[in-house]
Amino acid sequence: MKYLSEYRDPAIAQALIRRIRQSASRAWPMMEVCGGQTHTIVKQGLDELLGGAVELIHGPGCPVCVTPLEQIDKALALAARPEVIFTSFGDMLRVPGSECDLQQVRSRGGNVRVVYSPLDALELARRNPDREVVFFAVGFETTAPANAMAVWRARELGVSNFSVLVSHVTVPPAMEAILQDPANRVRGFLAAGHVCTVMGWTEYEPIATRYRVPIVVTGFEPLDLLEGILMVVTQLEEGRHEVENQYVRAVRREGTSPARTQVERVFQLVDRKWRGIGMIPRSGLGLRPEFAGFDAERRFGLEEIRVEEPAACRAGDVLRGHLKPRDCPAFGGECTPERPLGAPMVSSEGACAAYYNYGRLRPLEVVETS
């Protein structure tokens, strides 16, 4: 397909890899923020092809992985209610809550439906006026415009049996939390290209300046990632710390303003818990007061549910880049995609699932190539 196959050209990938190896005077540790990027890196083995020329640390940008246990438990409570049709993106169904997961609630008779788009959930509400349709609105800035539109349309069309369980998070506060961590090793970022298609990159400029880290807005194809890595390495070698854009074909500095505007109309910044990381101030999106009628937590009285994270899953260390998935004691034994202990083993964008599914079961020996 156009704009996909070109960016997978193996000869060009080889050339980029050679250039990265030539440019890097040391194995600079850098973080790819987005789980989609982690997926490509591990699937294509880009980190291994680079042979230690840089160290790729996998970031927290997997929406399923960072949704706190508390929100999962609220979803489970809602899905079990007889009057509710609970709708969600497919990858949330197997994320373990305190007691079970959404799939198990469904097998016990809960009406849980997978939707492709939040507008499909809204359509379901219009077709089932005698039921309450709740949509699990998770995700980063990439998904926020879609979820904002569903709420906006529900109000516009007067669909009163539709509500959303919101667990939205935003990238820049998470990057700052990582950089403020005393144990942080990250020296540069590949910023998430599709988050930036919506938001642009102005928010990253003060972060690059304050923490003196290069931030390169990067796409998702192998060549995008390799070029983004090369751009970060070049900045580090030259002692620069700027925001640059690798993903020029899809990202503009100001983002897609109609989408940003719609997000701002419906949502406002709120404090949000991240699974495995904890509370990050003003890192999430919640409904504005004028849309409070569409807030499922309020409609069904779930605001008071508070849950502590379990200790066995070390998702927090993985999401902050302190632990590679295969170095976790539970990885591949106690925790597998069939019986996941935590969300990073469930989602296709989770680092643990990517390592497991692409055979990274034990540390590989580095093979020297010329």
Partner 1 sequence: MGIPGRIVARREDQGLPMGMVDFGGVRRECCLAYVADEAKVGDYVIVHVGFAISRVEEEEARRTFEVLREMSQLDELEWIAEVADASLAPWERWAR
Residues that bind partner 1 (CB under 8 A): 1-4, 6-7, 9, 11-12, 14-16, 18-19, 36, 39, 89, 116-120, 139, 142-143, 145-146, 149, 153, 157, 194, 197-198, 220, 223, 227, 248-252, 256, 258-259, 262, 349
Q: Which residues are within 8 A (CB) of 261 and not within 5 positions of it... i.e. 6 or more apart?
A: none
Residue 142 or 163: which CB sits closer to partner 1? 142
Quick one: how far is CA 101 from the chain centroid?
Answer: 20
Quick one: how far is CA 48 from the chain centroid?
Answer: 23
Indicate if the alpha-carbon torsion angle 273, 279, 284, 286 is positive or negative. Answer: positive
Indicate if the alpha-carbon torsion angle 196, 202, 205, 210 is positive or negative. Answer: negative
Residue 7 or 189: which CB sits closer to partner 1? 7
Indicate if the alpha-carbon torsion angle 42, 46, 52, 54 is positive or negative. Answer: negative
Residue 253 or 339: which CB sits closer to partner 1? 253
Q: Which residues are within 8 A (CB) of 198 and not within 5 positions of it... i.e. 6 or more apart?
A: 141, 142, 144, 145, 255, 256, 259, 260, 263
Residue 14 or 209: which CB sits closer to partner 1? 14
Q: How far apart are CB 119 and partner 1 at their closest, in Å?
A: 6
Q: Which residues are within 8 A (CB) of 146 and not within 5 positions of it... i.e. 6 or more apart?
A: 117, 118, 119
Structural tokens at position 36:
């989609």
Residue 147 or 235: which CB sits closer to partner 1? 147
Q: How far apart are CB 1 and partner 1 at their closest, in Å?
A: 4
Strand order from edge to edge, sheet including 54-61: 54-61, 28-34, 188-192, 215-218, 243-245
Residue 91 or 132: which CB sits closer to partner 1? 91
Length of the chain: 370
Q: How far apart are CB 333 and partner 1 at their closest, in Å?
A: 29
HSE-up of residue 300 (Cα within 13 Å, Cβ side)? 25
Residue 195 or 236: which CB sits closer to partner 1? 195
Measured between alpha carbons, how far is 278 from 309 in angstroms, rounded to an integer? 9
Q: How far apart are CB 304 and partner 1 at their closest, in Å?
A: 30
Residue 5 or 180: which CB sits closer to partner 1? 5
